Chain A
């Protein structure tokens, strides 16, 4: 089954404790991206990757890092989480540029205390 898998789905952590949210897709898509969704603000792009070893900042990259060492994986790293990073995070991938449909993961709800 074609899917985008994120882990963990839920996480409560404390300020400053590094964490990684993994994202994996099995559709051989070149394009992958991360979004955060906050009430009243909609989906905002954090980082995206057009292909392996190619990443770029989205609209809200501060406090986040990513890497794209393999085509299928695109982890999101929070080196020193802060409470303002409490949010619902989505990973997505797509094949065709620019018309391809975005396939989203199920989301990762992160709470930083």
Chain B
């Protein structure tokens, strides 16, 4: 069964600090992995997409990494800001027709002043 596990479930950090969120998956065959940011009560918004051949992708202060061999991805947030407080969701796609997306449970990040 395709699964995406994220850790930690929740995290509290101080403004200006860095943090790393983890995503482990067992989805096969793998197509791509996206990280989404979801502000409370809003729809998720895509931060990065990574395909099999990519191992690092940056979007401003967000840097995603992918290790396709170990089936792990991480999202590193640099110099956190209060606006980074949100849930971060890892979503893995397959090439199979039909239900092609597997969602992780998300990591809830709180950045405190």
| Chain B nearest CB, measured from A87 CB (Å) | 13
Query: Restricting to A37-55, which residues have a CB under 8 Å from any CB of B?
Result: 40-45, 48
* A81, CB-defined interface residue at 8 Å: no
> Total contacts A to B, CB within 8 angstroms?
55
Interface residue range, chain A: 20 to 34
- On whether A102 and B91 interact (CB within 8 A), knowing A92-B43, A107-B41, the answer reads yes
Chain B interfacial residues counted at CB < 8 A: 25
A-B contact pairs, 7 of them (CB 8 A): A40-B105, A42-B106, A44-B103, A45-B103, A90-B44, A97-B100, A105-B43
Query: Restricting to B72-91, which residues have a CB under 8 Å from any CB of A?
Result: 89, 91
Distance, CA A107 to CA B44, complexed state (A) = 10
| Chain A nearest CB, measured from B37 CB (Å) | 11
With a cutoff of 8 Å between Cβ atoms, the chain A residues found around residue B13 in the complex are: none
| Chain B nearest CB, measured from A63 CB (Å) | 18
Distance, CA A59 to CA B106, complexed state (A) = 18
Decide if B32 touches A99 in the complex (CB within 8 Å).
yes
* A62, CB-defined interface residue at 8 Å: no
Decide if B93 touches A98 in the complex (CB within 8 Å).
yes
* A101, CB-defined interface residue at 8 Å: yes
Residue in B45, B94, B100 with the greatest tally of chain A CB atoms within 10 Å: B100
Residue in A closest to B98 when the chains form the complex, CB atoms:
A56
Residue in A closest to B6 when the chains form the complex, CB atoms:
A42
* A106, CB-defined interface residue at 8 Å: yes
Interface mask (B101-113 → A, CB under 8 Å = 1, otherwise 0):
1011110000000
With a cutoff of 8 Å between Cβ atoms, the chain A residues found around residue B51 in the complex are: 99
Decide if B49 touches A99 in the complex (CB within 8 Å).
yes
Decide if B105 touches A59 in the complex (CB within 8 Å).
no
* B34, CB-defined interface residue at 8 Å: yes
Which of B46, B104, B106 is in CB contact (< 8 Å) with A102? B46
With a cutoff of 8 Å between Cβ atoms, the chain B residues found around residue A59 in the complex are: 99
